[in-house]
Amino acid sequence: MKGNDYLPDFCTKPVLVLGCGNRLFGDDGFGCEVVEHLQTHYRLPDDVYVMDVGTGARKLLFTLCLSPERPRQIILVDAVDKGRTPGEIFELSLDDLPAEKSDDFSLHQVPSSNLAKELKEAGVDVRVVVCQVGRVPESVEPGLSEPVARAVPRMAAEIVRLLSAVSQELSVQAG
């Protein structure tokens, strides 16, 4: 074993895309659906690691905070309720993550957002791209609402656009 060979790939790849959410609760599964769409419809660069983290973003971000090696960029994909039109996709700053979802295990939980902020302060470019939810049921009800389901391929295309810009930067830095 040499260097950091013991580290998981998500620590060592330059770019990490994390799909957050819970597919069992309607539109909350948006981030997971976007990751699946990326993996099945696109050939992503080798320097990009894409992962459906479900409700486990906090554990993964904690691991990254402790890791001696980290991605240069992390793109977090999630669903939020910011009172916009259902299916609208947009970027949030880490300071704008909603606190009202503190009872779930998604990215919005305060410890998760604090970990993301810590990574940003350590020099990692942390981006949060989200979709406005249409519905998040109180009990188990899998499946995205129609406007949020239509947003999945649009978000995947936006992430690929972001990855293209980052991958070009990585190529220039390596060359």
Q: Which bin fits 134, alpha (ψ -120 to 50), beta or left (φ > 0)?
A: alpha
Burial of 98 (0-12, 13-18, 19+ CB in 10 A): middle
Residues 25-37 have a mean pLDDT of 96
**How many other C-beta atoms are found inside a 10 Å radius of the C-beta of residue 50?**
22
Question: Mean of the per-residue pLDDT values for the chain?
Answer: 86
Q: Write out pLDDT tens, residues 100-142.
A: 443 344 555 556 788 899 999 999 999 999 999 998 888 999 9
User: pLDDT-derived band of residue 165, with 50, 70 and 90 as boundaries?
Assistant: confident
**Residue 103 confidence (pLDDT):** 38
Q: Name the β-bridge partners of 141.
A: 25
DSSP code for 56:
-
**Residue 175 confidence (pLDDT):** 46
Closest among 24, 28, 25 to 107, alpha carbons compared: 28
Query: How many CA atoms within 13 Å lie on the side-chain side of 42?
Result: 23
Integer angstrom CA distances of residue 160 from 10, 79, 91, 93, 163: 18, 18, 15, 20, 5
Q: What length is written for the chain?
A: 175
First vs last C-alpha separation in the chain: 27
Contact 93, 129 (CB under 8 A): no
Phi first, then psi: give them for residue 89, nearest 5 degrees: -110, 145
Radius of gyration of the chain (CA): 16
User: pLDDT-derived band of residue 3, with 50, 70 and 90 as boundaries?
Assistant: low
Q: Write out pLDDT tens, residues 45-97.
A: 899 999 999 988 889 999 999 999 999 999 999 999 999 999 999 999 888 76
